[in-house]
Amino acid sequence: MSLLKTTDVIKRFGGLTAVNKMNFVLEEGQIASIIGPNGAGKTTFFNTLTGIYKPEEGAIEFNGHSLVGLRPDQVAERGIARTFQNIRLFGSMTVIENILVGMHTQLKQRGTDALFRTKAFHKEEAEAEAKARELMDYVGLKNVGNELARNLPYGGQRRIEIARALAANPTLILLDEPTAGMNPNETEEAIKLFRRIRDEKGITVLLIEHDMRVVMNISERISVMDYGEKIAEGTPAQIRSNQRVIEAYLGREAAAAQA
């Protein structure tokens, strides 16, 4: 059974159909990418998956259960974590606290535990903090636990976002343009990190990405979107030689000229 399966998902904004009849299947343990020109509906598709938007039509199944109609926090609780295209950290919280917020669904403490500082509370907080430090290490953040998130450089903030998403102990992680704005070195490291997330933690990874080096390098399966529709799907090699994809990216005439 596939981990994530969408059937004919449609999302409209007024007269604009941002996502049109999207059929998408993701197998457990895959690293897959969604690519497409700007405005193709990739991020809208992500937002529809995570419950930020409600699809007008269609079904979304995750782990055999429907996600349609769930609130974003309920979707997160089912094991889908995500990062955002424009980094959305909790800027005036420290790096550690950002990661602890990511653990929200994992922590069991109640208000009364916090008020009376029960043993269980102290234990859970200590464990959570230890796990947060582990995650910082994992994504390559050093000595910044007490820094405010907004004070970190861009690359660092991207890492916090990934650590925060991992903190939720997800089955599937959605990364929305995770390497945007990174230099080649950082990109290289990011690719390694994504592989490790899948190989070591067994988390399925779905990316939206513009950087073709990243996409071709890491993806086992690529889906291409244009004008809200999926126009192609396949391995990197198949996508590279797909005529419709080339047209979508370069425009029909340029593609013809190139051929």
Partner 1 sequence: MRKFFSNLYTSINKEPWSYIVTFGLMLIGSALVYMVPRSLMAFLVLMLAPAALYFLKMNNRIKLFAGLLLAVVILPVLGVRNIFYLEVIFQICVFAALALGLNIVIGLAGLLDLGYVAFYAVGAYTWAFFGSKQMSLLYSVPGAAPANAPFFLENPDWFWFFIFLGIGLAALAGILLGLPVLRLRGDYLAIVTLGFGEVIRVLALNLDKPINITNGPQGITPIQRPNLSPDLLNAIRLVLEPLVGHSVTDAQFYNVFFYFLALIIIIVAVVVARRLEDSRIGRAWTAIREDETAAIAMGIPLVRMKLMAFAAGASFAGAMGVIYAANRTFVSPETFSFLQSIGVLTMVILGGLGSIPGVIVGAAVVVFLNIQVLQTFSLYLSSLRQSDAVIPIINFAWKNLSTQLDPAKYQKLIFGVILVIMMIFRPEGLIPAERRKRELVGEKEE
Q: Where does this chain bind partner 1 (CB under 8 A)?
A: 50, 52, 71-73, 76-77, 81-82, 84, 88-94, 96-97, 100-102, 104-105, 107, 109, 111, 113-115, 117, 121, 125, 129-130, 133, 142-143, 145-146, 148, 164, 168
Measured from the CB atom, the residue of 126 and 256 that comes closer to partner 1 is: 126
Tell the smallest beta-carbon distance from residue 82 to partner 1 (Å).
6
Q: How far apart are CA 81 and CA 184, in angstroms?
A: 26
- Residue 6 CA to residue 172 CA, distance in Å, equals 15
Between 159 and 221, name the residue whose CB sits nearer to partner 1.
Answer: 159
The DSSP 8-state label assigned to residue 94 in this structure reads B
CB of 21 to partner 1, least distance (A): 25
Query: Cβ closer to partner 1: 177 or 226?
Result: 177
Query: Distance between CA atoms of 223 and 243, rounded to whole angstroms?
Result: 14
Are 206 and 217 a contacting pair, CB within 8 Å? no
Which of residues 88 and 213 has its CB atom nearest to partner 1 in the complex? 88
Biggest alpha carbon–alpha carbon distance for the chain? 72
Backbone angles phi, psi at 62, to 5 degrees: -130, 120
Q: How far is the CB of 210 from partner 1 (least distance, A)?
A: 21
| In the complex, minimum distance from the CB of residue 207 to partner 1, in angstroms, rounded to a whole number | 16
The least CB distance from residue 88 to partner 1, in Å, is: 4
Closest to partner 1 by CB, 88 or 252:
88
d(CA 232, CA 228): 12
Which two three-digit tokens encode residue 50?
A: 């995570």
Give least dist CB 143 to partner 1, A.
5
Q: What are phi and psi of 177, to 5 degrees?
A: 45, 60
Residue 220 phi/psi, 5-degree rounding, is: -95, -20
CA 204/CA 172 separation, integer angstroms: 5
**Residue 13 Cβ vs partner 1, minimum distance, rounded to whole Å:** 17
Which two three-digit tokens encode residue 19? Answer: 């996502």
Question: Measured from the CB atom, is 65 or 142 closer to partner 1?
Answer: 142
Q: Of 62 and 121, which has the nearer Cβ to partner 1?
A: 121
**At a CB cut-off of 8 Å and minimum separation 6, what does 259 contact?**
none
Torsion of CA 110, 66, 72, 22, to 10 degrees: 160
